[in-house]
């Protein structure tokens, strides 16, 4: 696959994941639990697709160093560093939240943790698009 195609697919996947997250949040606010579950599983699936496309792109085409300097480089790194750190955390958090919800283990814990995970995941999706 071409670099452009993989970039389009990975970007579309992560943006779609962010949209599905927002839809899922709106649905749970309206107590539409089955629809919320479907939206959040869609967000997870799209995030997984993003990872596949991103790793494929990196494997085939390598990485492209940021060419900006000065203030632009500082801005880029100030977005990139928290993006990478939060991206490493959001995967296990999302898996745990899904496990809690699907196994109907502890909805109180699910809700409490989701209040932290959602903004982190949205930041990762938005900052990934920006990066």
pLDDT in tens, 51-96: 999 999 999 998 888 888 999 999 999 999 999 999 999 999 999 9
User: Which pLDDT score is estimated for 71?
Assistant: 92
The span from the CA of 40 to the CA of 100, in Å, is 13
- pLDDT above 90 for 50: yes
User: Which pLDDT score is estimated for 65?
Assistant: 84
- pLDDT above 80 for 9: yes
- pLDDT above 90 for 129: no
Sequence-distant (6+) residues with CB within 8 A of 76 are 66, 68, 131
The span from the CA of 24 to the CA of 13, in Å, is 16
């Amino acid at each position: 696959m071409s670099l452009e195609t993989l970039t389009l697919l990975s970007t579309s996947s992560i943006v779609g994941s962010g949209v599905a997250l927002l839809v899922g949040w709106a649905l749970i606010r309206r107590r539409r639990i089955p629809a919320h579950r479907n939206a959040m599983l869609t967000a997870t699936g799209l995030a997984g697709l993003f990872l596949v496309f991103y790793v494929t792109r990196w494997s085939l085409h390598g990485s492209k160093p940021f060419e900006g300097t000065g203030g632009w480089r500082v801005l880029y790194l100030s977005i990139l560093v928290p993006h990478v750190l939060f991206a490493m955390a959001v995967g296990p958090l999302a898996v745990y939240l899904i496990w809690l919800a699907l196994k109907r283990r502890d909805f109180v814990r699910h809700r409490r943790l989701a209040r932290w995970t959602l903004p982190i995941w949205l930041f990762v999706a938005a900052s990934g698009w920006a990066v």
